Chains A and B, each alone.
Chain A
Amino acid sequence: MDATLSESEELLRETARRLGSDLACGSVAEYADFDDTKAWRSLADMGLLGIRLPDEVGGGDGSTLDQSLVVEALAFHSVAVPFLGSAALASELLLAAGASQETLSRLASGELRVALGLTDDLSSIWREGASKNAVAFDSAGAQAALVFDSSDAGVTLRSVALGEPLPGLDLTRRSHRVNCETVVDVGDLGGVIDADTYERTIARCLTLVAWDLVGVMDAGIATAVEYAKSREQFGVAIATFQAVQHICADQLVSLEGARSMAEYAAWAVDECDTADALLAARSAKAFASREGRAVTEAVVQVHGGMGFTWDCPAHVFLKRALSDALLFGDAPRQINEIAQLRSRSRA
C-alpha cells in the first residue's frame, strides 16, 4: 500500500503545472477575448491531449490519475482551454465506446475537439427524454457535442451540432446550446457502451471533475494567502491576524481532504470493481463540490472589498468551482447516490 504519488506522477504534475503557468492568462481582462489556438497546440505537442489514449494513436497510454494530474494543473492556473470538457471527459466517452483509431488520433493531435452534450442541469449526458434542451459545457472550439442514444444493450454515442453560445458565468470556459437532432459527422464513434463500462466511465468523469475542483481550490488558497501577506491594515499585514489565518487554515484542511479523496478515486476507477470505483468517485465529487464552493467563497472573503471587483481573480475561482460542482451532479445529488450505493452494499 502506498497512498503517495510515484516519482513519475510527481514529474508529470510538475511538467503540467509549468505548462499551465505558461498558458495562463495574465489578468482577468484577458479571458474575454482569449484565443486558445496556441495553447491547444502546446497541449497537443506535449502529448497531453491524448494522455489517456492508446499509444497506437499517438496517445500517452496513461492512467486516470495521469489524466487527473493534468486536469488539476490546468485548473490551478485557470487556463482557458477546454481540456476538461473536450480532452478529458470526451476522451473517456470515446474510449468507452471504442471509437476508431482514426477518431482517437485526431483527438490526440488536437485536430478534433468535441464536447459533451449534457442535460440542462449539467448533471448527466443528454439522451432522449432526459431534459428538453441539451447544453455543451466547456465547449470552446468544439466541432460537435456527444449525446447518448439508448438501446437495450446500453448506450451509443451520437455527435450533434453545437447551437448558439450561451452567455456563461465561468470566465475560463465556454458553453453552447446543442441541436440534438442535427447529426454532425466527426468520424467513427464506436459502438455500444454496456452498463458496467458506462458506470465506470461516469466514475472517471466524476473523478476528473473532482480534480478540477482540487486545482481551483489550491489556486484560490494560494492567491488568498499571497494577498493577505501583502495587504496591510492597522499597520501590519492582515496575514498576521488569527482571524485571517484561521480562515485560510480551514480551507487548506478542506483542500487536503479533497485531494486525498480525489487521489484515491483516480486510482480506484482504474483498479477496483465498478461498484467500489463509483462509490469512491461519488465520494470524491461530493466532498470536492461542497468544499470547492466553501473554499472559493472564503477566498473572496479574504480579499475583502477587492474580492468582489471584476479585476480580482477571486471570482474566477468561485465561478469555476460553482460550475464544476454542478457537472455530473451536485453534492446533494452525490450524497443521495452514495446513500443508495451503501444501502445496496449492505443488502
Chain B
Amino acid sequence: MNFFDGPDEATFRSELRAWLAENRPSKEGDRDHGADGNRASLEWHRQLYQGGWLGLSWPVEYGGRGLTPLYDAIVNEEVGASGAHVPSVGYLGRAILHYGSDEQKRTYLPPMLRGEVQWCQGFSEPGAGSDLASLRTRAERRDDVYVVNGQKVWTSRAQWADWCLLLCRTNPELPKHKGISCLVFEMNRPGITVHPLQQTWGTAEFNEVFFDNLEVPIENRIGEEGDGWPLATIILAHERGPADIGFIAHFQHQLNEFERLLSELPEERRSEFANRVAQAYVSVAACRLHVLKSLSLRAKGVAPGADTSIDKLLMTRVEQELGALAWDMAGAAPSLGLDDETVYQYLRARASSIYGGTQQIQRSIVAQRLLGMPRG
C-alpha cells in the first residue's frame, strides 16, 4: 500500500497541473446540461484529449496512452481541484474493446476518445428498465442488413449524438439473456426519430428514440449474435465505476464550492453547515478512496465485476448528500426560482439512484454476488 505517486505519476501530475493553469473550459463547460452545455463539454473534451489527458488507460493503437487506470484517478483529482469537470470518456467503448473486431476498434475508438464523434447508448426501453434483458427492440436479419424496429427511452444525449450503440433482440426464440445482440450505427440514418424528454430541472438531455425499419449493415454488429448481454454487462460495470465517468472530480469541485460558500453564510448558521460540509468531506473521501482501491485492482489486471456496484452505491450516497447540502445551504432562492444551479444539483442528484442501474438493482447485485445471498 502506497498512496504516493511513483516518479512517472508525479511527473504526469505536475505537467497536468501546469497545463490546467493555462487551459480552462469555457464557462458553460462547467454545467454539462442543455445544448450549450453539451457543446462546451465536447470542446473541453477535445481540449483535454489534445493536451494528452484523456483516454489514458486505453491501448495506444486505439488512441489511448496505454497507462494504468491510476492515471485516470490523477486526472480526476487535478481537474476536479481546478474547478473543471472530466468528461465521461467512452465507457461504451470498453465493450467495443472487448467484443469488436480489430477493424471496428480502429474505426470507432480513436474518434470516440478524441471527442470527435459523440455516442449514445440505446439500452432502456419503456418495458425494459431494471429488467433490461427483457428488451424487445427487434433486429431482423434480411440479407446483409438488420432491419430494426422498436423504441428506446432515457437515451442520454441522443439528440446530439453522431452514433448509437444499440442493444436489440435478434432471436426472440432464445431465453431472454441469450437472444440479444449489439449494433452500432450513425444517428442520421433514415428510420430514426429522436424525441427529447424534459427533465425535472428544465432541460432535456435524455430522449425517446424510435426505430422504424432502420437498416443497419451486418458488419456493424459488435461481437456475435447473442453477445449483447455479456457486452452490456461490461458497459454497466464500467458505467458504475465512478472514475470512468468523472464523478470524483465533480464531488471535489462541489466540496470546494461549499467550503467557499461557508464564509458567505450568516454567522448563526455557519457552524451547523461547517459540520455538514465536514461530514460531506468524509463521505467524499470514503468514495474516493474506495474508487482508488478499485482502480488499483484494475491496474493489477483484475477485471471490474460486481464490486463496482459498491462504488456506485457509495457514489449515490455522496451525490445525494451533496445535493441535499447544496439545497439547504442555498436557503429559499432555489424554491423561488432564483437559483437554477442549485435546483439542477439537487434534482440531478435524485437521478443518481436511478441511472446506470437503480440503487435497488445495485443492492441486489451486492447481496447476491458479493455476499452470496440466494436469489428469491
Residues of A at the B interface (CB closer than 8 Å) are 1-6, 9, 65, 221, 225, 228-229, 236-237, 239-242, 244-246, 248-250, 252-253, 256-258, 260-261, 263-264, 266-268, 271, 283, 286-287, 332, 335-336, 338-339, 342-343, 346
Contacts and interface: CB of A to CB of B under 8 A. Distances in A.
Contacts of B313: 249-250, 253
A248 B371 contact: yes
Contacts of A4: 1, 293, 296-297, 300
B279 interface: yes
21 contacts: A1-B6, A3-B3, A229-B372, A240-B373, A244-B373, A246-B363, A248-B371, A249-B313, A249-B366, A252-B366, A252-B371, A257-B290, A257-B314, A260-B286, A264-B289, A268-B3, A287-B282, A336-B275, A338-B282, A339-B275, A342-B277
Taking each of B6, B73, B286, B287, which has the highest tally of chain A beta carbons within 10 Å of its own beta carbon? B286
Nearest to A286: B282
Given A249-B363, A339-B277, A242 B293 contact: no
Contacts of A229: 372-374
A5 B370 CA distance: 19
Contacts of B374: 229, 237, 239-240
B373 A338 contact: no
B285 to A, nearest CB: 5
Given A2-B296, A335-B275, A242 B286 contact: no
Given A287-B282, A338-B281, A9 B1 contact: yes
Given A229-B373, A245-B373, A250-B363, A339 B1 contact: no
Contacts of A241: 376
B301 to A, nearest CB: 12
A1 B9 contact: yes
Q: Which 7 A-B pairs have the closest CB atoms?
A: A245-B367, A257-B286, A249-B366, A240-B376, A339-B278, A249-B363, A260-B289
Contacts of A264: 3, 285, 289
A1 B366 contact: no
A248 B1 contact: no
Please classify the interface of chain A as helix (H, G, I), strand (E, B), loop, or mixed, using the class held by over half of its residues. helix
A169 B365 CA distance: 36
A225 B271 CA distance: 40
Nearest to B289: A260
A75 to B, nearest CB: 19
B296 A246 contact: no
B363 A256 contact: no
Interface of B: 1-6, 9, 70, 73, 259, 262, 271, 274-275, 277-279, 281-283, 285-287, 289-290, 292-293, 295-297, 299-300, 310, 313-314, 317, 360, 362-368, 370-376
Main secondary structure of the interface of B (DSSP, over half): helix
A237 B372 CA distance: 13
B1 A267 contact: yes
Contact of A3 (B295, B317, B367): B295
Given A6-B1, A236-B376, A283-B285, A260 B293 contact: yes
A228 B70 CA distance: 38
Contacts of B278: 335-336, 338-339, 342
A64 B370 CA distance: 29
Contact of A242 (B271, B289, B292, B376): B376
B285 A263 contact: no
Contacts of A335: 275, 278-279, 282
Contacts, number: 150
Contacts of B289: 3, 257, 260-261, 263-264
Nearest to B317: A253
B281 A225 contact: no
B281 A342 contact: yes
Nearest to A241: B376
Contacts of A268: 3
A240 B376 CA distance: 4
A73 to B, nearest CB: 17
Given A263-B289, A283-B282, A335-B275, A1 B70 contact: yes
B373 A256 contact: no
Contact of B299 (A2, A236, A237, A250): A2
Contacts of A346: 259
A336 B281 CA distance: 12
A2 B376 contact: no
A252 B373 contact: no
Contacts of B314: 253, 256-257
A343 B285 contact: no
Contact of A256 (B2, B5, B300, B310): B310
B310 A228 contact: no
A236 B5 CA distance: 51
A307 B297 CA distance: 36
A225 B371 CA distance: 7
B282 A5 contact: no
A221 B259 CA distance: 35
A256 B310 CA distance: 8
Nearest to B256: A346
A308 B73 CA distance: 44
Contacts of A221: 371
A283 B280 CA distance: 10
Nearest to B373: A239
Nearest to B292: A3
Given A1-B292, A256-B314, A286-B279, 14 more contacts: A1-B5, A221-B371, A228-B373, A229-B373, A240-B373, A242-B364, A248-B371, A249-B313, A252-B310, A252-B370, A258-B286, A271-B2, A339-B271, A343-B274
Nearest to A268: B3
A245 B364 contact: yes
Contacts of B70: 1-2
Contacts of A261: 282, 285-286, 289
B284 to A, nearest CB: 10
B368 A1 contact: no
Contacts of A271: 2-4
Given A245-B368, A271-B4, A225 B296 contact: no
Contacts of B73: 1
